[in-house]
Amino acid sequence: MSRKTKKHFYAMSRRRRNFLFAFVILLLALVTVLDRAVHTARRESAPVAANLSNPVDLRKYHGKSFLVVKVVDGDTIDINIPDANYPHTRIRLWGVDTPETEKSPGGEMYFGNEASEFTKNLVLGKTVAVYLDEGNNTRGKYGRLLAYVQLPNGRYLNELLLSEGYAYADLRFDHSFYNKYKLLESSARSLNKGLWKEAAREELPSWLQRGKPDLLNK
């Protein structure tokens, strides 16, 4: 091979190596971008997915009985069955909203601790039946199970909280007992039960104040 041919050969090899190197760098950059895009899409879609009705939840929980191992507050409890990576399943009661307790990030609200105690006395350490709202969401915004909780005596915790004045009917979301829960709350208000005896408008949740301008005449 002549000196000129060798020089041309080495020049081609160098250009080929540079091309391959550049191609590999570009490929790695593309893979990195795609990987980030996939992970971002998963993160952004998670809250939406959590709100979809889940047949797995229906099979796992609906109509079944569990032991209540913790009361977080008036409308949130834990039952003794694992949920994904958690040792227990957290339930958010369908259709009701109780005042926040002192443990809440937003601080304690009027009658919050009373509502929490009421729920604790009824369910902590007891076996309850869990019912989901078939055809509706099984999970809420934070991934908690949405459910109606039946006590050993056959009554429902959701309804007792409303009828005894420990909760507001949560009318922000539609569910099967929407109208019934409105009536239960209205009855408790008219009888001045629980929080309705002395609650001032500014002590109610902001969503409730906006939704019912004539709620309290105080």
Q: Which residue out of 16, 59, 90, 100 is catalytically annotated?
A: 100
Residue by residue, DSSP assigns the chain as --HHHHHHHHHHHHHHHHHHHHHHHHHHHHHHHHHHHHHHHHHHHHHHHHTS--HHHHHHHTTEEEEEEEEEETTEEEESS-BTTBSSEEEEETTEEPPP-TTSTT---TTHHHHHHHHHHHHTTSEEEEE--TTS-SB-TTSPEEEEEE-TTS-BHHHHHHHTTSSEE-TTS--TTHHHHHHHHHHHHHTT-GGGGT--GGGS-HHHHHH-TTS---
Q: Which residue out of 36, 117, 144, 203 is catalytically annotated?
A: 144
Residues 6+ apart with CB under 8 A from 122: 151, 157, 160
- Does 189 qualify as catalytic in the annotation? no
CB atoms within 10 A of CB 206: 8
Tokens of 133: 């709202």
Tokens of 40: 């971002």
How far is C-alpha 179 from the chain's CA centre?
Answer: 23
Q: Which residue out of 92, 139, 159, 189 is catalytically annotated?
A: 92
Known catalytic residues are 92, 100, 144
